[in-house]
């Protein structure tokens, strides 16, 4: 393998060349590193031109990878030095063992009183379930206040707010029912991110799609919506795919 350097867009880029018994040149990314697989007979100039021709596309993917790495923050951890993020503030998780499971949040930390052992995988999952149920209750008045705030500003109205733990969406709007559902996991994030999701779902009362008009309305009330989208997109909080409609 050989490490080579190329200058592109006023930046220095490194790429790794590996010669193989093959007919064509191939490019691939591993993380944010560029690898070139080349036949033995190909000259260095041809390899460099090949990299240069594809560097714009590669640079975009590398930038996305770096952004994902920068924004991916674990929001809860039980082992090592336990912590939890609450409204984007990292709180030390203080675990004390007693017969009944209870929780308490203060500026000093997130207090967990429980008989469950956090170093036991099954009991850890059970404790996480209880924490999520607790956070759901805590989230409701906070989310309701933000929804009320933005309903007034946007001159829109929903009749029902539901808070629940969802695997696939940060929020769901049911225009016909005038109902919005918010993911209780949003409580881990900042008010700015929560507001973005609330604005997003309220905008669906007018545009039940993701058209240009929809995004124009969202950006009117949340100009930083793209950064909020990236925070949620690259979050380590698991939200996968399902049939639920956004």
Q: What is the 3-state secondary structure (H, E, C) of the chain?
A: CEEEEEEECCEEEEEEEEEECCCCCEEEEECCEEEEEEECCCCHHHHHHHHHHHHHHHHHHHHHHHHHHHHCCCCEECCCCCEEEECCEEEEEEEEECCCCEEEEECCEEEEEECCCCCCHHHHHHHHHHHHHHHHHHHHHHHHHHHHHHHHHHCCCCCEEEEECCCCCCEEEEHHHCEEEEEHHHHHCCHHHHHHHHHHHHHCCCCCCCCHHHHHHHHHHCCCHHHHHHHHHCCCCCCCCCCCCC
Domain-located, residue 98: yes
- 97 and 205 in a single domain? The answer is yes
- 82 and 156 in a single domain? The answer is yes
Domain-located, residue 241: no
- 66 and 85 in a single domain? The answer is no
Domain-located, residue 134: yes
- 30 and 112 in a single domain? The answer is no
- 227 and 169 in a single domain? The answer is yes
Domain span at residue 23 reads 2-71
Domain-located, residue 245: no
The tally of domains found in the chain comes to 2
pLDDT of residue 243: 34
Predicted confidence (pLDDT) per residue in 45-63, tens digit: 899 888 888 888 887 777 6
Predicted confidence (pLDDT) per residue in 68-120, tens digit: 555 456 788 888 889 999 999 999 999 999 999 999 999 889 999 999 988 88
- 94 and 127 in a single domain? The answer is yes
Domain-located, residue 137: yes
Domain-located, residue 242: no
Domain-located, residue 18: yes
The pTM for the full model equals: 0.70
Asked if pLDDT for residue 65 goes beyond 70, the answer is no
Domain-located, residue 114: yes
Nearest Cα residue to 203 out of 187, 195, 192, 214:
214
- 177 and 119 in a single domain? The answer is yes
- 114 and 177 in a single domain? The answer is yes
pLDDT of residue 51: 87
Last residue of a domain, one of 14, 47, 71: 71
pLDDT of residue 12: 84
Last residue of a domain, one of 39, 54, 71: 71
Last residue of a domain, one of 11, 45, 71: 71
Asked if pLDDT for residue 155 goes beyond 90, the answer is yes
- 32 and 50 in a single domain? The answer is yes
Compute the radius of gyration of the chain from its Cα atoms: 24
- 222 and 122 in a single domain? The answer is yes
- 53 and 175 in a single domain? The answer is no
- 174 and 87 in a single domain? The answer is yes
């Amino acid at each position: 393998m050989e490490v080579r350097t190329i200058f592109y867009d006023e930046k220095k880029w490194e790429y790794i060349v590996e010669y193989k018994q093959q007919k064509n040149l191939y490019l691939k990314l591993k993380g944010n590193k560029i690898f070139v697989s080349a036949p033995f007979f190909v000259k260095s100039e041809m390899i460099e031109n090949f990299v240069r021709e594809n560097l714009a596309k590669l640079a975009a993917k590398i930038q996305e990878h770096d952004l994902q790495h920068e924004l991916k923050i674990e929001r809860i951890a039980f082992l090592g030095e336990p912590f939890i993020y609450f409204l984007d503030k990292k709180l030390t998780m203080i675990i004390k063992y007693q017969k009944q499971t209870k929780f308490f949040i203060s500026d000093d930390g997130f207090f967990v009183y429980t008989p469950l052992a956090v170093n036991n995988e099954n009991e850890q999952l059970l404790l996480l379930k209880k924490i999520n149920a607790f956070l759901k209750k805590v989230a409701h008045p906070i989310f309701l206040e933000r929804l009320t705030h933005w309903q007034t500003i946007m001159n829109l109205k929903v009749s029902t707010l539901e808070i629940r733990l969802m695997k696939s969406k940060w929020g769901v709007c049911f225009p016909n029912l005038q109902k919005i559902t918010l993911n209780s996991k949003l409580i881990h994030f900042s008010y700015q991110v929560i507001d973005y999701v609330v604005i997003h779902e309220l905008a669906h009362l007018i545009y039940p799609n993701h058209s240009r008009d929809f995004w124009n309305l969202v950006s009117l009330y949340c100009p930083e919506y793209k950064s909020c989208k990236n925070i949620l997109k690259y979050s380590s909080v698991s939200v996968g795919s399902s049939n639920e409609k956004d």
